[in-house]
Amino acid sequence: MSLWNLLILELYYCYREAFYLFPKFLSFSLAALLIVFFMAGCEEPLIAIAEKKSAEQNPGASQPSTPSTPQPSNPGTAQPSTPGTTQPSTPGTAQPSNPGTPQPSTPGTPTPSTPTWYVSAGGSDTYTGTDISKPLASVQTALSRIKTAYKGRNWPAGESAVIVISGTITASGSFDSSMSMVNVSGTGNYPPIILKGDPNQKGVLNANRNSSNEGRVLYIANNKVTLGDDLTLTGGYTVWGGGVLVGITGSSSEGEFVMAGGEISGNTGQNGGGVMVLKGTMTMTGGIIQNNTNADYSSTKGDGGAVYIDINASFTLNNGTIRGNGGAKTDKGGGIFINGRGLFTMTGGEILNNTSNLEGGGVLVAAYSQFIMSGGTISGNTSARSGGVSVSPYNANFTQTGGTISGNTP
């Protein structure tokens, strides 16, 4: 304690003694004087002492800072955001839906995506509504509806038309001049067509023809048709292409046939029991061609039990199986017959167990035609000569850079 405090205490004791000696008014005066001296002599003001005492008793209480404690923040420390930092959304950021975004279907367009028609044995060709999921009774009626929509030019860009067949559709009555159950021909009449079956009820197109009532299943000219999974083409009987005929002689009559799946079986043709590529191209990437035969007209046997490739036409086998075709009425090419200047390219797939009478149980390469083999298998085929591959000595060309030819007879 300081000297001031000692002095004040001494005065206090003097005051206490004098309280009884002096008049009462003097006592009050001395008391006031003592208080003044005491306050002046303290090192800390009474208020500060009281506050300190309170703080010691309540250590968690927030202390008021002394007047000099709060330092003004450095103007650069807490940066106010520069104009534009908190951007108001520019007009159009939260876009209202464009009134034109939900486009209604253009009149005449079957659907906004892949147009699909359905054909079933229980369908009706008299249905004229716009619900394309309603099954029709024939593929040709579906093609007629597609043709109308496509020629109206209200067609989704780059889209094919899909026809899904459920169950067995058996032809009855006469065919048109193409002698075909399904005719996809005419320049500009159709978009690319995909024929496939219903996976829940596999489809069959049965031409139901014989030697006295000829006709084939499918004819393609100036258009592209793809055969997909779960569909079988059967029951054709003609001179050219019992199951499928691609193209016809004459200008601008080429066809394009892609076999990506499905089956071609049980057809008969003098040239090309399963398929004849007369003018145009065929590409096989899947599926199976089996059990097709040739017929003899005027005691003349046929060629190409499975596929006949005519002059300037081409066939590419990338994958799939050609099996068990030809037979007693097949002279040459139980599996494949390549006519003059035709081209057969084999990169994969299988040619198995086909038969012919004279030569080329698997493949016959006729004069001036070409066979290029870089992959795949030719095996188990039978003929009197060259059971696997027979090559004509008259400017025919066979080039093998890969694949396997083995186990053929002879």
Of residues 51 and 133, the one with the higher pLDDT is 133
Report d(CA 155, CA 374) in Å as an integer: 40
Q: Which pair of structure tokens corresponds to residue 200?
A: 């829940």
Among 3, 33, 5, which Cα is nearest to 18's? 33
| R_g over Cα of the chain | 50
**Rounded mean pLDDT, 29-54:** 40
This prediction's pTM: 0.73
- Helix and strand element counts for the chain (H, E): 4, 28
Of residues 10 and 281, the one with the higher pLDDT is 281
Predicted confidence (pLDDT) at residue 283 exceeds the cutoff of 80: yes
Q: Please report, as a single letter, which amino acid is at residue 1.
A: M
**Rounded mean pLDDT, 294-303:** 89
Predicted confidence (pLDDT) at residue 53 exceeds the cutoff of 50: no
Helix, strand, coil content of the chain in percent (nearest 5): 15, 35, 50
Other beta carbons within 10 Å of 136:
23
Whether 264 and 292 have beta carbons less than 8 Å apart is answered as yes
> What confidence score (pLDDT) does residue 28 get?
43
Q: pLDDT-derived band of residue 128, with 50, 70 and 90 as boundaries?
A: confident
Average pLDDT, the chain: 80
Burial status of residue 345 (CB atoms within 10 A of its CB: 0-12, 13-18, 19 or more): middle
Q: Over the stretch 252-272, which tens digit does the pLDDT of each residue have? A: 689 999 999 999 999 999 999
Cis, peptide link before residue 410, omega less than 30° from 0: yes
Q: What is the largest CA-CA distance in the chain?
A: 168
Strand partners, 162: 116, 194
Q: Over the stretch 321-342, which tens digit does the pLDDT of each residue have? A: 999 999 999 999 999 999 989 9
Token pair 């080039």 is found at: 399
**Rounded mean pLDDT, 157-175:** 94
Q: Which residues contact 175 (CB under 8 A, 6 or more apart)?
A: 181, 215
Report d(CA 203, CA 168) in Å as an integer: 6
Highest-pLDDT range among 18-22, 70-74, 371-375: 371-375
> What confidence score (pLDDT) does residue 29 get?
43
**Rounded mean pLDDT, 146-163:** 88
> What confidence score (pLDDT) does residue 77 get?
38
Q: pLDDT-derived band of residue 154, with 50, 70 and 90 as boundaries?
A: confident
Report d(CA 216, CA 275) in Å as an integer: 10
Predicted confidence (pLDDT) at residue 4 exceeds the cutoff of 80: no
**Rounded mean pLDDT, 207-213:** 95
Phi, psi of 36 (to 5 degrees): -60, -50
Q: Please report, as a single letter, which amino acid is at residue 395.
A: N
**Rounded mean pLDDT, 310-327:** 97
Predicted confidence (pLDDT) at residue 93 exceeds the cutoff of 70: no
Of 127-136, 158-167, 177-186, where does mean pLDDT reach its minimum?
127-136
Strand partners, 336: 307, 363
Percent of the chain's residues with pLDDT above 90: 63
Domain ranges for the chain, please list them.
3-55, 116-406
Report d(CA 388, CA 16) in Å as an integer: 142
Report d(CA 178, CA 14) in Å as an integer: 145
**Rounded mean pLDDT, 282-292:** 98
> What confidence score (pLDDT) does residue 151 get?
87
> What confidence score (pLDDT) does residue 126 get?
87
> What confidence score (pLDDT) does residue 63 get?
40
Of 16-25, 116-125, 211-220, 295-304, where does mean pLDDT reach its minimum?
16-25
Q: Which residues contact 211 (CB under 8 A, 6 or more apart)?
A: 237, 295
Of residues 156 and 240, the one with the higher pLDDT is 240
- Please count the residues of the chain: 410
Report d(CA 163, CA 145) in Å as an integer: 11
> What confidence score (pLDDT) does residue 201 get?
95
**Rounded mean pLDDT, 69-98:** 40
> What confidence score (pLDDT) does residue 192 get?
97
Q: Which pair of structure tokens corresponds to residue 350?
A: 């299988």
Among 48, 54, 171, 161, which Cα is nearest to 115's? 161
Report d(CA 357, CA 305) in Å as an integer: 11
Report d(CA 378, CA 122) in Å as an integer: 42
